[in-house]
Amino acid sequence: MSLEPEVIEDCARLLDEAQSNVYDVDKLTDTHPGIDVDTAYDIQDALRAIKQGRGLRITGMKMGLTSYPKMKQMGVDTPIYGFLSEDLAVNDGGLVETALLIHPKVEAEIAFVTSESLSGPNCDEAAVMAATAFLLPAIELIDSRYRDFKFDLPSVIADNTSASRYVVGSRPVSPAGVDLETLGVVLEKNGAVMEVGAGAAVLGNPATAVAMLVNMLHVRGQSLPAGSLVLSGAITAAIPVAAGDSILLRADGLGTAGFRLI
Ligand code: OOG
Ligand code: MG
């Protein structure tokens, strides 16, 4: 069911305010049970327009729920996408202020940086690899604006797929010769290994997740511009973090990325 444009705008504003002022809200489908996936992306687009209206630059896109560990953890069964804006970027080795977050969790991902635009409907792994300038190890910090981190598919899509912060490694690696399927990752908290995984956890190959993003964007009349940073989705389950934690991702052949919560 579609919503009136004013209601879509109100939903986007509610989520934007929850994020800016650091409080949780009821999931959107509690108040608007009719929201379907397409309407949820309308709300996400409205949220993006609100942020762009504040002068924020869009730095890229993210895929979510692309791996079974994540789908299982969140009780949701379809991949989803969101957008990344410049205010979410954290420097490698930098600090994240916990007071600005509701209930943060971190997950290990592979980031793609594109040098050519990509469009659907038939984008595939080969097209993604050809358009990729370099790969980077990435940690996504997700922070659902919904109470107890509980949601359904339309609600999490509207909430920009829980996007909150991301950090990428400082050493770009050319995709030539990288086997994304066997690429191993180790996610550490305060020096202890919390999660391990391999690229193939993400739809068999993280490049497939990027191709799926491009094809999903096509359905909504959109494409992926050159120069986009794309988070291809968590390889592992997400782990809760708190002030004082140091988070480090080690990715085979791609180096490390990390940050500290204060
Ligand atoms: C939704 C976002 C999922 C991923 O990489 O799977 C995501 C959530 O779990 O809150 O970013
Ligand atoms: Mg993620």
Measured CA to CA, the distance from residue 31 to residue 28 in angstroms comes to 6
* Structural domain containing residue 138: 58-261
- Considering the domain boundaries, does residue 205 fall inside one? yes
Task: Tell whether 49 is covered by a domain.
Answer: no
Q: Give the Cβ contact number of residue 54 at 10 Å.
A: 10
Number of domains in the chain: 1
Kindly tell me if the per-residue pLDDT of 137 is higher than 70: yes
Give the pLDDT confidence score for residue 72 in this predicted structure.
Answer: 84
d(CA 3, ligand 2 centre) in Å: 28
Tell me the per-residue pLDDT of 21-55, one tens digit each, with 9 for 90 and over. 999 999 999 999 989 999 999 999 999 999 999 99
Q: pTM surpassing 0.75?
A: yes
CA proximity to 202, closest of 121, 147, 140, 261: 140
Q: Whose CA is nearest to atom 4 of ligand 1?
A: 64
pLDDT class for 75, splitting at 50, 70, 90? confident
Q: Give a yes or no: residue 33 inside a domain.
A: no
Residue 123 falls within a domain, yes or no?
yes
Residue 94 in tokens = 């930098």
Q: Which ligand is the nearest neighbour of the Cα of 156?
A: 1
Let me know how many helices (H) and strands (E) the chain has, helices first. Answer: 7, 13
Q: Could you tell me which residues are beta bridge partners of residue 132?
A: 114
Residue 2 lies in a domain: no
Q: Is residue 136 part of a domain?
A: yes
The predicted pLDDT at position 1 comes to 61
Query: Residue 70 — pLDDT band, cuts 50, 70, 90?
Result: confident
Cα 188 from Cα 108, distance rounded (Å): 10
Q: Is 153 in the pocket of ligand 1 (CB under 6 A)?
A: no
Instruction: Give the residue whose CA is nearest to atom 3 of ligand 1.
Output: 64
Residue 39: inside a domain: no
Whose CA is closest to atom 9 on ligand 1? 74
Which CATH number characterizes residue 125's domain? 3.90.850.10
Is residue 43 in some structural domain? no
Write down the pLDDT at residue 3.
82
